[in-house]
Chains A and B, each alone.
Chain A
Amino acid sequence: MFLSLKNNFWHPVRLKANRRKKLGTDNDLVEVLSRDWQNIGDKLRERIYKHYWGYLMGVALRYVSDRDTAGMVVNDSFMKIFSNLKTFECTDLENFNKILKGWMAKITARTALNEIRKHKASTLQEPLTDEHDWRFPVMLQDNLHVENVWDLINNLNPNYRKVFTLYEIEGFNHDEIAELMGITASSSRVYLVRAKEKLKMLYRTLMV
């Protein structure tokens, strides 16, 4: 019985097992998605959610500090992702996962910023004074660990952190950041410069 099942490649049980095996790994999920991401069923949706949840939590935590809010942002983002997956475009299938993650991250960043805008308790925009306008020379000692990176990011002023991550990590331009944050593009540029200076200063004080 076992032999006949083993030899019969087209046996339904075998096919199901093959399919499970095929969809079993994360790489396979990306491969399946890259072939037809516009028509996904409930099963695939669940796998996408479980696969990218951790990554999107990481994205959300760049903007909101508490985990519950980040979880809510991620769920809102997944809702938008599933609703708009048909509109996602990717011609470079070699880098499908990277492009898809970038697209998802942008949606999550926007959702997080909207969430902040809705519930912010106090938005004291930092004045554009010259008080931080000095440069730090920095020498990297070794590769940074993830904890170190988060230490650096968490010690930034919220607006600097937002502009820095939106520009350097998510890849928005200054005009887009200005629109997202309700500031001017020139303010965004200034915040970015200051964020970088602050990061160098923090690196010196915290890491070295």
Chain B
Amino acid sequence: MDSEEKKLIDEIRDGLNNFEIPYEEGNWENFQKSYGEKLNGEEKKRRKAPLILWKYISAAAVLIGILIYIPWQWNGKEDVRHDRVAEHRKTSTKDKGPSLPMQDQRDIKVMSSRDDRPIAQAINRTFITNDELVDNAIMRLNADDTQPVIGTHEKVPTLPSLVSPAITEEETASSGWKESTIASIDRQEQHGTTSGRWKFGVEVNSSFTTDKPNVAAGILTQFEVSEKLKLSTGLTYSRISAIHDTDPVQLSYDTKMIGGESTIKAIDIPLTVVYEPTDGWYASVGVSALAVLDEDKIYRMESEVLRENVVTDPTSGASVSVFEVIKSEYSEKSMDTDFEGRSNLSYLNLSIGRKQRFNKRTDLLFEPFIKIPMGGLQRGDVNLLNSGIKIKVLF
């Protein structure tokens, strides 16, 4: 570039950069009228998004709190019930005499006030482990002494009648309290403590809605309501891509919108009921609330450009114009969003899975799933239905 050309370009650059039109009154007011709502809406949305996120997190915290609180309450009630059983026993033994050997202690859970240990459980454990030993624990329930006392263990011949279920049923029927069998007591021992019923873990999942895979990762907790029934919740960060199923829209004579795509980054908070009919296999159903943190929406455009090519005929030397239509596709980012800052976004989650015991405390779970959009996610033109596989590790 010669210096004169450079000077000319510099002059043009300076001229254009310094060129300003004096402000014309009324333009700001027009701008506010046309864009104010949109601008404020975006600001509100931006402010609202963290609020919605906090709302969901608090809801999850409350839910987890309730799930923790209820089992403790149940345990407390069970203790009260056991005390009442003891009282009932005490009353019945009182009728029979001041000191009565208990012939069948299998289903009795009496809490000793001295060590808070279920007496019957201790007795039964001895009974199960040694056939020949009958734990001849005698609860001396003195009319004056309300404290149950465990007697000394003695080796006595096993009496079939003592372990007969018929007696148990009879006794339980007469006691008026529903009492557990040995097996159920042992099971309760396994599952009875609240901490033993809780499991925590991590999960990753991958699913497909478009040609791009969706990925998600998060933490979860599972509460064992019963042997076959569990409740699960957690917090998952996910990235979901969704195609807009729209018909092409002709924007101008040469440009048409042929589709769109949304990419959503969201926090997913599920609440799931897990049913495990057989050991190792399970099915689950639940709902999850979605808090959208960020959304990118793009429109796919197609434009047709008429190109003129001037070619020279080699024989005649004449210039001939040849026109051709060139189609090109491009993407245009949209300013508006469909889901960001909105509430009532939820999924219906269905899955089946296989649980593999990794070691004594750790389970590895493989779970094919399907997520069906509900509420605000259920839009005709945006397909957010997705399915894939989850991998979970529970401790």
Spell out A's residues near B (CB within 8 Å): 46, 49-50, 53-55, 57-58, 62, 71, 75, 78-80, 82-83, 114, 117-125, 127, 129, 137-140, 143-146, 148-150, 152-153, 165, 168-169, 182, 196, 199-200, 203
Q: Is the CB of B23 within 8 A of A125?
A: no
Q: Is the CB of B332 within 8 A of A143?
A: no
Closest chain A residue to B17, Cβ basis: A169
Query: What residues on B are CB-neighbors of A118 within 8 Å?
Result: 251-252, 255
Docked complex Cα distance between A118 and B249 (Å): 12
**A78 CB contact (under 8 Å) in B11, B16, B31, B335:** B31
Interface of A is mostly: helix
Q: Is the CB of B308 within 8 A of A200?
A: no
Q: Is the CB of B8 within 8 A of A138?
A: yes
Spell out B's residues near A (CB within 8 Å): 4-5, 7-9, 11-13, 15-24, 27-28, 30-31, 34-35, 38-39, 42, 251-255, 303, 305-310, 328, 330, 332, 335
Q: Is the CB of A124 within 8 A of B306?
A: yes
Q: Is the CB of B8 within 8 A of A199?
A: yes
Q: Is the CB of B12 within 8 A of A199?
A: yes
Number of CB contacts from chain A to chain B under 8 A: 114
Docked complex Cα distance between A196 and B349 (Å): 63
Docked complex Cα distance between A150 and B24 (Å): 21
Query: What residues on B are CB-neighbors of A53 within 8 Å?
Result: 21, 23-24, 27-28
Q: Nearest-CB distance from B321 to chain A (Å)?
A: 9
Can you list 18 A-B contacts (CB < 8 A)?
A49-B28, A53-B28, A54-B23, A58-B19, A58-B20, A58-B21, A80-B335, A83-B335, A121-B253, A127-B308, A127-B309, A144-B15, A145-B15, A149-B11, A149-B15, A150-B19, A182-B305, A200-B8
Q: Is the CB of B12 within 8 A of A139?
A: no
Q: Is the CB of B28 within 8 A of A153?
A: no
Q: Is the CB of B5 within 8 A of A50?
A: no
Query: What residues on A are CB-neighbors of B31 within 8 Å?
Result: 49, 75, 78
Query: What residues on A are CB-neighbors of B17 within 8 Å?
Result: 169
Query: What residues on A are CB-neighbors of B307 within 8 Å?
Result: 124-125, 127
Q: Given A75-B35, A117-B255, A118-B255, is A54 in contact with B21 using a C-beta cutoff of 8 Å?
A: yes
